[in-house]
A = this chain, B = another copy of it.
Amino acid sequence: MDVVLVRWPEEDTRLQQLREDGSPRLLLLNGESGPPESDDCLEDWIRLPADDRDVRARVARLATRAETARPEPQVDGDRLLRYRGRWVALSPVEGALAATLVDRFGAVVGRDTLARRAWPAGMPTRNALDVHMLRLRRRIASIGVEVRTVRSRGYLMQAAKPRADAQ
């Protein structure tokens, strides 16, 4: 999503509209005007004149926040798992598992739920799910998605976080 640059306070009307839309925005403060009060994470400001790198850094940060504000991946009709511009092709079974996990992204999905979706007629072996989950994990790691185990409850899909513990 693009970050909108707003001169302030000149373009206050435009700012109000952007706030309502939830568009990420960077306010460029002219002269002596004080910074506006807003605790919205998608709004930032900088006082002019400013280093061009600093402006770009704030724009980039707002863009990242706007991206991560809705970080749900999706599985399209061709069994491509897409996430933040990247994608991987999945096999039929993996696609079914991934679709189920994406539906409840960030929450736990039970093993039985996953099994019914992947094998409506019944799971071939108790261990089949584990093996396919292992293969799914290795694929989606390349696009920054991970599946974590919640013992005796199921699996949970989330954005891959570099740090270990907790997410």
Q: Are A86 and B167 in contact (CB under 8 A)?
A: yes
Give Cα A94 to B84, complex, Å.
31
Q: Nearest Cβ distance between residue A164 and chain B, in whole angstroms?
A: 9
Residue-wise interface mask of A (146-158) relative to B, using a CB-CB cutoff of 8 A (1 in contact, 0 not): 0000110110100
Residues 29-57 (chain A) with a chain B CB within 8 angstroms: 34-35, 37-39, 41, 47, 51, 53-54, 57
Q: Which chain B residue shows the least CB distance to A150?
A: B89
Give Cα A35 to B107, complex, Å.
34
Q: Are A57 and B80 in contact (CB under 8 A)?
A: no
Q: Are A51 and B57 in contact (CB under 8 A)?
A: no
Q: Which chain B residue shows the least CB distance to A158?
A: B87
- In the complex this chain forms, how many copies of it are found? 2
- Given known contacts A39-B64, A39-B68, A57-B35, A142 and B165 CB-to-CB distance under 8 angstroms: yes
A39 neighbours in B (Cβ, 8 Å):
61, 64-65, 68
A166 within 8 A of B: yes
A60 neighbours in B (Cβ, 8 Å):
37
Residue-wise interface mask of A (128-167) relative to B, using a CB-CB cutoff of 8 A (1 in contact, 0 not): 0000000000000011000000110110100000000111
Q: Are A150 and B78 in contact (CB under 8 A)?
A: yes
Known: A37-B61, A39-B61, A89-B150. 17 other contacts (CB 8 A): A35-B53, A37-B60, A38-B61, A39-B64, A39-B65, A41-B65, A76-B108, A78-B150, A78-B153, A79-B150, A80-B108, A80-B156, A86-B166, A86-B167, A89-B151, A142-B165, A142-B166
